[in-house]
Amino acid sequence: MTARAPDRILDDMSEPTEEERAQWEQRRNVRRDWSKRLLDLIDPEFPRTSHSNANQNDWTVIGPAFVLRCARLLRASLFLPDEHDTEAEALVRVLYEHVTTFAWLAIDPASNIRAWVRYEAKQGLKADNDVRQFGIHFLDAKLLADYQALAAETPMMPDLAVRASQADAHWGPIIEAFKDPKYSLRGMYVAIYRQLSVSVHASGDAVRRLVRFGPTPGMRCVGFERPVGPVASFTSAPILFAMCLLVASRTLSFPKEAEVYRTLKDEDGGIVE
SS3 for 4-32, per residue? CCHHHCCCCCCCCCHHHHHHHHHHHHHHH
In a domain, 269, yes or no: no
What is the domain extent for residue 160?
18-46+57-264
| Residue 51 within a domain | no
- Please report whether residue 3 resides in a domain: no
pTM: 0.88
13 domain residue, yes or no: no
Contact between 119 and 156 (Cβ < 8 Å): yes
Per-residue pLDDT of the chain (273 residues; tens, 9 = 90+): 555 555 555 555 567 788 877 777 777 888 889 999 999 999 999 999 988 887 777 999 999 999 999 999 999 999 988 788 888 889 999 999 999 999 999 999 999 999 999 999 999 999 999 998 898 888 998 999 999 999 999 999 999 999 999 999 999 999 988 888 888 999 999 988 888 888 888 888 888 888 877 788 888 888 878 766 665 676 789 999 999 999 999 999 999 999 999 887 753 344 544
272 occurs within a structural domain: no
Q: Is residue 65 part of a domain?
A: yes
- Phi first, then psi: what are they for 212, rounded to 5°? -130, 165
- Domains identified in the chain, total number: 1
Supply the pLDDT for residue 4: 56
Residue 176 in domain = yes
Q: Which positions ≥6 away from 239 have C-beta within 8 Å?
A: 183, 264, 271
Residue 168 lies inside a defined structural domain of this protein: yes
Q: What is the pLDDT of residue 268?
A: 39
